[in-house]
Structure 1
Amino acid sequence: MVYLNFFKNPEYAQIFEGPLDIDTITMQIGATIPGTKFLPHKTVIILDEIQDAPNARTALKFFKEDGRYDVIGTGSLLGVQGYGKPPKSIPVGSETVITMYPLDFEEFLWANDIQPPVFKKLRECFEQVVSVPEALHNRMHQLLLQYTVVGGMPEVVQEFVNTHQMDTVFQLQESIVNSYRDDMVKYASASDKVRIRECFDSIPNQLAKENKKFQYSLIEKKGTAEKFAGSLQWIEDAGIITRCYNLHTTELPLEGNADKSVFKVYMNDIGLFVSMLEQGTQGDILRGNLLGYKGAIFENLAASILYKMKRKLFYFRKDSGLEIDFVIRHKGECTLMEVKAENGNAKSVKTILNHPEKYHVNRAIKFGNYNVGNTGSVLTLPLYMLMFMDER
């Protein structure tokens, strides 16, 4: 492996300022990093923080044409307006782009050494709609609460697995959130810097409301879409948040029935969202004392899990008070999905299911602090089984 980090060593970018033929590039890397060896069809070259060396990304085309070496380019916020330096030529057709996400709940379980037979048993209970054995059910619920607090940022998960010291976990999360704020200031245009940070910092307040529709007036008293829409888009492009759009009607195709002007906003990493709430919230979650933020926390948990499945998010709300947390395509049908921190009613679900001729829905899934069960058209599942909602 040959590793170049353009952020840590900005002088490495000069290697790609001249001719981009592969022999010249490998010769210059060898001269810059003594002891480097290139073995055809055995050496992999890693170009880290490639957004700081735009010509290195252009060179991917020539690496592919040459074919002797595999190359992995990694970059933070590639494609976000104002971040890094755009390449003179994007190597279309010569690179495979993979978007990396924070760890999902299943990966968090892997990190905590949960073994394959456990996943097999849980999947069987999910598919056969039978109760999970009580001891396993309780353990999985405990791990889900830990994931809710820790989240999926790799460094944070590794610290948790190594030490189980929540103080250092919280410090790492705070550092990441602060680095987001620093990046907003560093890379955004001058006119957007303050607005982007204000949008970002408003997210906990947006989700604390009973009606979680994103409101620009919560950013500032006279805030408007015209003033803040671009800033919110910057945060979304950066992979920090995702939007959940309101539906005109509960009917497939969901994308075609969405109102793009009415939406909720969720953080893509549940642990970072919780870290932005008032101090002590993490301890409350681990003890089961969920209090006022419980709806926002577990809705955001569900949103982050669905987002990592590459699902677009939708919900349904009417001024009459009818509201469904999420509406998804599941097993080819439009399906209502409610998320409860604890046991709770789903009055809106019953109303919609009782009028299939009006709402075109026959199925619903309710996630909460209970075991697997089935009540008529409503499937009830424990919150940790959100990880199995990958079937469209």
Structure 2
Amino acid sequence: MKRLIIYDLKKWTVSHSRKPLLMRGARQVGKTHAVRELGKNFTYFVEINFERSPEFITVFEKDLDPVRIVNTLFAMTNQIITSEKTLLFFDEIQFCPKAITALRYFYEEMPALHVIGAGSLLDFTIEEIGVPVGRIQYCYMYPLSFMEFLASLGNKSLFEMILSHSAEKPLDELFHHKLFELLGQYMLLGGMPGTIAGFLKENNMATAYRVQNAIINAYRDDFPKYAKKLQIKYVEALFNYIPHCIAESFKFSHIPGNYQKRELDPALNLLVKAGVVHKVYQSAGNGIPLGAEANLEKYKLLFLDIALSQAMLGSTLADWLLNPLQTFINKGSFTEAFVGQELLAYSSEYTKTDLYYWHREKQGSNAEVDYLIQLNENIIPVEVKSGAGSTLKSLHLFLESKPQSPFGIRFSTLPYSIEAKLHSYPLYAIAGCLTKYHPDLKERLYTLISA
């Protein structure tokens, strides 16, 4: 399976400023698989899983001397751990908080040894114990993007077409429809590696559905691991409700049941910390950084993966295969959520990315732009629209009120086009749009189809 993170990890291995790496991301987004793939480039690869083999936790109880730790691990595993030649991988590292603390000493005393830690609920442990600033590097991982999906299918020509096509002219209609067919398939499968791997192996949607449901159940099984006993019912209520309000302004009062905000708000933050849910914050959008003018009390919610949220709703998914163009029009909220998922997938791998939108409340004239993104030094409004009949009143209003924003972007089922201050891209071309302003992203993406 093709993942952008492999390129990022390879760059980390040769960096002169390399630090021990902590990989952060929700359960089953592919962290362990990615590190194992990286391990193939080393002479020796040593994997320690603290959940599966808790006896290794005792190694860190005496002290955090990295030399002693390495020698003890060698004695216990009979695997060679040597600088430059070994990748040492601590999986499910949240089960051994002292191993996280020990990473700073690996950086200070054994900087030539490549060390990576990963864990599904790592953020909770990091918050609890703290991590020394400047001693550890973070890497963030999300479900597969549409481009990673295309590369995994082996569609090299269509992949290159998206990255090279000019926005000034439409793509040939044959390719346009083919790409929407594949995008419809992606909307059905989502970006969870287990789902896509099952589909690629058996070419069977039923297998993909089973994997999706297993992942959903695994997330539910995690609730007791990070929520207090009295909080679990609130986490469960939110988890079940969020797919119903994807990409809508979120209100606690809409959740079925006799719940109070003071009970639900901490539970929602737990789901966000677990990586299952992302907040899209309202921002005034006057300048960078967008977070400086964000209203943290007003937000929309996105589920981790577009297909998992549909599976939880029991949606009729065959339409994505039978008539993808019309289905994008009929399922506007999921289309908007897909764009958010793509924006996260193509964001910086070494910094946590937040998403933003713009909303103006004015009597008789409310306006909302689906996303605000930063391209170079500019704030760009992004609208997600169904098709030709959709208006762009809010986007134009934003551009009129924010003259510092040079243009707006529309992602829709329509072909490529540029008209004055409106740049239109088909929904499958989000990566192609972003690479025009982020050459480093284009370099990363092309590694998916090289060799």
TM-score by length of 1: 0.86
C-alpha contact 1:48 1:75 (8 A) present in aligned 2? yes
C-alpha spacing 1:365/1:23, structure 2 compared with 1 (3 Å): closer
Amino acid at match of 2:343: L
Q: Sequence identity, in percent?
A: 28
Q: Between 136-145 and 311-320, report the one with greater CA deviation.
A: 311-320
Given candidates 116, 123, 126, the residue that maps to 1:79 is 123
After superposition, give the CA deviation of every residue in 1:124-161 in whole Å (9 maximum; x if it has no partner): 324x5222122322222122112222222222222222
Aligned residue in 1 for 2:393 = 348
C-alpha spacing 1:84/1:352, structure 2 compared with 1 (3 Å): closer
Aligned residue in 2 for 1:377 = 421
Aligned residue in 1 for 2:202 = 163
After superposition, give the CA deviation of every residue in 1:106-126 in whole Å (9 maximum; x if it has no partner): 2222211232x5444323324
Q: What is the CA distance between 1:279 and its match in structure 2?
A: 4.1
Q: How many residues align?
A: 380
C-alpha contact 1:160 1:166 (8 A) present in aligned 2? yes
Amino acid at match of 1:384: Y
Runs of 4+ with deviation above 6 angstroms? none
C-alpha contact 2:414 2:426 (8 A) present in aligned 1? yes
Counterpart secondary structure, 1:192: helix
Aligned residue in 2 for 1:122 = 162
Counterpart secondary structure, 2:382: strand
Counterpart secondary structure, 2:70: helix
Between 1 and 2, higher relative CO (CA 8 Å, sep ≥ 6) is seen in 2
Aligned residue in 1 for 2:448 = none
C-alpha spacing 1:19/1:335, structure 2 compared with 1 (3 Å): closer
Amino acid at match of 2:391: A
Amino acid at match of 2:357: F
Which aligned pairs between 1:190-339 and structure 2 lie closer than 5 A? 190-207=229-246, 212-220=248-256, 223-248=259-284, 251-253=286-288, 254-280=290-316, 282-288=317-323, 290=327, 294-308=331-345, 309=347, 310=353, 312-318=355-361, 320-330=365-375, 332-339=377-384
Determine the C-alpha separation between the residues in 1 that align with 2:418 and 2:392: 17
Q: What is the CA distance between 1:52 and its match in structure 2?
A: 0.5
Unaligned runs of at least 5 residues, structure 1: none
TM-score by length of 2: 0.76
Counterpart secondary structure, 1:72: strand
C-alpha spacing 1:67/1:261, structure 2 compared with 1 (3 Å): closer
Counterpart secondary structure, 2:139: coil
Q: What is the CA distance between 1:86 and its match in structure 2?
A: 4.9
Counterpart secondary structure, 1:59: helix
Q: What is the CA distance between 1:360 and its match in structure 2?
A: 6.8
C-alpha spacing 1:263/1:86, structure 2 compared with 1 (3 Å): closer
C-alpha contact 2:286 2:402 (8 A) present in aligned 1? no
Amino acid at match of 1:335: I
C-alpha spacing 1:171/1:342, structure 2 compared with 1 (3 Å): farther
Counterpart secondary structure, 1:98: strand
CA RMSD of aligned residues (A): 2.8
Aligned residue in 1 for 2:148 = 107
Unaligned runs of at least 5 residues, structure 2: 1-44, 348-352, 439-451
Counterpart secondary structure, 1:44: strand
C-alpha spacing 1:331/1:53, structure 2 compared with 1 (3 Å): closer
